[in-house]
A and B are shown apart, each in its own frame.
Chain A
C-alpha cells in the first residue's frame, strides 16, 4: 500500500498544481483509531496528508453531488460503481471530475463484494486489490429460508432500533432527491415518530427507491449509529433485480437502469397473473 498512497499523493498534487482541478476529495487521518476521514484538499503541498488505509470506508462519490469546483476524487471499487450510476442518471458531468481509481484498501473486504478495483477512472493507481469472488447471496438465501414470521420478527427488531437520523440516507450516493419523501409535507407521507409503522415506511420506501441503483457499498449500514441491519434488505433487492433483469448497478457506463426504463417484455412476477414467476 505504500506505493499506492505515494502514487495517489503525487497524482493529486500534480492535478492541483497544474490547475487541472481545484480540489481533491480523498481521505486523511481521522481522530479515532481505525477511522480515516474525508478531506477536501486545495493546495498541492497538503496532498502529503492524504491516506489510503483500512479506515477509508466512506463512499466519497456522495460529495461530488454538492461539489461546484472542478474536482479530483480518489475512489475504490464500490465508490466507482456509485459514480457510474450518478453519471448514468445525469447527476454529474463527466468533464467536471477527474477520477483517481485505487484498489480497495480494506483487507477484510465486505461480504459479497465483487468489485474491489474501480470500474471507471482517469488514472488507475497500481496495487493489488484483495481477492473477490462471485457473490452467491448466501446471506439473502439463508434469510429467505426462515419462516415468514421469523423474517418479520427480525426485520421489525432491526427497524425498531432506528432513530430516524437519516444518516443512512445522507451517506448513500443513490439518495440524492432534492426533497426526500420523508420531508415532503404536501402531503405528509410518513409520520415523524419512531413508531414501528413510521420506521418501516421509511426503510421500505428507501429500499425500493434505491433498488436497481444500490451498489451494495454498505455506506448506509456503516453510517447507522444504531447498528440497524440495512444491508439484508438492500441485498434482497439486489438479488431480485439481478434475477429479474440480469442487472447489477454501476458496472458499466452504458448500462440503462432497468427500473428507469420500460420494456413490454419486462418480467412482472409481482403483479397478479403477470409474467413468469
Chain B
C-alpha cells in the first residue's frame, strides 16, 4: 500500500502528458465524460461517475475494422485498419467500471479468438481508478458484492483520504509505478483510515441481489410469468445497453463510396428488433418480451455460465437513464421471489 499527496499526484499525472494521452472525467453539459485532459485543474466535486461507460476507451461506439479499395480494372485491395495505439492513461475510473474492463477482457481477449483492436488499446492503456466515497442513489455495486473500494481492473486505485490519496496496485505495471517517487509507502495512519473505510463497505457488501433461481435450470427460468409482464413498458431503445459498461454487442456494416470501403463495427443492442432478424424476415426474438429476457439472462445467467462472472457491475447507469424507469434491480428482486409493487 502506498500514498501520495494530492498535489503531488496531479503534478506527477501532468508529467505523464509528454508521453501519453490522458483521459479524465470532464464536466460537459450532458454530464461527466472521459475526455482528453491537458493539465488544467480537474473539477471533481460533483463527480459520481461518467455518463458514458469506460468501455468506450477500448471498444469505441464505432470504428473501422478493415478498409478496401475497388479501383476499376484492378483487383480489390484489402487492408486491416490499424487501431489507434497511442499510450493512454485513463484517470478517474470508478471501481465498478474498472471491473467491467475485466469482464470485457473475457469476451474480446478469449482463449480462442482475440480482438486485435480491443487488445491493442487495452495493452496501451493504464487505468487509474478513484474509489467511491459517496455512491449515487442508483448505484448498486455492493448489492452485487462489489466494493466501492475494489482495485480489480485498475492498474492503480486511489482512495481519497483528504489531502492525500492512498494508492493500491492490482497489476505489475501499477506496482512498478507505485514503488517509485513521488509515491511512498503508506503510513500506519493512512492504512488505519483505509481499513475503517473498508469495514463499512464490507458490511454493506454482504447481500447479493442475484437470486438463486438464476443458477438453476434455464428451462425453468425461461418460462417464468414475469417475462410476460415486465417488458410492456420498455421502449426497446438502446439507452440501457449503450450506457452499460459490460454490454458488448455490436454490428458490422460496410460504408462505401464508388472506389473505397470500410467495414465498420458499431455498438448494437439486443433491445433492437432487427438485432436478430434474419434476411428472410424470421426473427427468433420478435417482441420486447424475448429481448428483455435476453438482456437480463445474458447478464445474470449466460455470461456467468460462460465467463464465470455476472455481467453487471451495479453502476446504475441503466437505472438512472431509462426513459421509462425500467429498474434492473426490481427485476432481480422479482426473480428472487419478491412480489412487491407494479413498478416493474
Interface, chain A (partner B; CB < 8 A): 28-33, 35-41, 46, 49, 58, 62-63, 66, 161, 163-167, 169-171, 179, 183, 185, 188, 191-195, 222-223, 225-228
In chain B between 297 and 335, which residues have their CB closer than 8 angstroms to a CB of chain A?
319-321, 323-327, 329-330
> With A31-B329, A37-B343 given, is the CB distance from A191 to B242 under 8 Å?
no
Chain A residue nearest in CB terms to B238: A165
**Set of chain A residues within 8 Å of B138, measured between Cβ atoms:** 32
B319–A167 CB distance below 8 A? no
A39–B342 CB distance below 8 A? yes
B325–A37 CB distance below 8 A? yes
Chain B residue nearest in CB terms to A193: B62
> With A35-B325, A41-B342, A192-B253 given, is the CB distance from A165 to B264 under 8 Å?
no
Chain B residue nearest in CB terms to A47: B342
CB distance from A40 to the nearest CB of B (A): 5
Does chain A have a CB within 8 A of B170? no
**Set of chain A residues within 8 Å of B125, measured between Cβ atoms:** none
Q: 5 closest pairs, A vs B, by CB?
A: A223-B323, A165-B238, A167-B237, A37-B325, A193-B62
**Set of chain B residues within 8 Å of A222, measured between Cβ atoms:** 323
In chain B between 42 and 99, which residues have their CB closer than 8 angstroms to a CB of chain A?
51-52, 61-62
8 other A-B residue contacts (CB within 8 Å) besides A31-B343, A49-B342, A163-B61: A30-B327, A163-B238, A165-B241, A166-B272, A169-B237, A194-B62, A225-B239, A227-B29
A166–B238 CB distance below 8 A? yes
Proximity string of chain B (265-281) to chain A, C-beta cutoff 8 Å, 1 when within and 0 when not: 01101001110000000
> With A166-B237, A167-B237 given, is the CB distance from A225 to B343 under 8 Å?
no
- Main secondary structure, interface of B, reads loop
B325–A194 CB distance below 8 A? no
**Segment of B190-198, B215-223, B228-236 engaged in the interface with chain A:** B228-236
**Set of chain A residues within 8 Å of B238, measured between Cβ atoms:** 163-167
B235–A62 CB distance below 8 A? yes
> With A32-B320, A37-B233, A223-B237 given, is the CB distance from A165 to B242 under 8 Å?
yes
**Set of chain B residues within 8 Å of A169, measured between Cβ atoms:** 237
Does chain A have a CB within 8 A of B251? yes
**How long is the Cα–Cα vector from A260 to B242 in the complex, in angstroms?**
35
